[in-house]
Amino acid sequence: MHCFCGSKKEYQECCGAIIEGKREAKTPEELMRSRYSAYVKGDGKYLVLSAAKENRYAEDIELIEEFSNSVEWLGLDVLYAKDNIVAFKAFYKDIEGIKVLHEESKFVQEDGLWRYKDGILYNTKVQRNDACPCGSGKKYKKCCG
């Protein structure tokens, strides 16, 4: 099975190995991709553990899992990765339709390991002439829009 993060690698050779603790993320982009895959799998525990220590709250695990499992994740688009910043768009479908989570994420190293620090969220919507995030190859306005 190909990885959810869109790398075209096998899941177990990509994000699966990081999520399962078989290896650590080598870069902020790898960590961000593994976090997206954890959202797809509804793995709130990994998402909390991969955050910076100051942002780890055990009570978030259930909330993350509830949200992750209530939507259909459609894909990830990494816009850029530079130093400790990764910008991306994650597309998902909920009962209201297709939405996009557009974030510029900041990562830090703690004890030599990359961790998610925080991010800036952008109020972005799928535009009519964008490729449809469902993967049909059609424009959004002619497909799910």
What tens digit of pLDDT does each residue of 121-145 get? 999 888 888 888 887 889 888 888 7
Measured between its terminal Cα atoms, the distance across the chain in Å is: 29
Q: What is the pLDDT of residue 136?
A: 84
- CA dihedral 37→82→7→97, nearest 10 degrees, is 50
Least confident of 46-50, 95-99, 100-104, 107-111: 95-99
Q: What is the pLDDT of residues 83-95, one digit of tens each?
A: 999 999 999 999 9
Residue 90: predicted pLDDT: 97
What is the model's pTM? Answer: 0.93
pLDDT band at 105 (very low <50, low <70, confident <90, very high): very high
Please state the three-class secondary structure of the chain as a single string.
CECCCCCCCEHHHCHHHHHCCCCCCCCHHHHHHHHHHHHHHCCHHHHHHCECHHHCCCCHHHHHHHHHHHCEEEEEEEEEEECCEEEEEEEEEECCEEEEEEEEEEEEEECCEEEEEEEEEECCCCCCCCECCCCCCCEHHHCCC
Percentage of the chain lying above the pLDDT 90 cut: 83
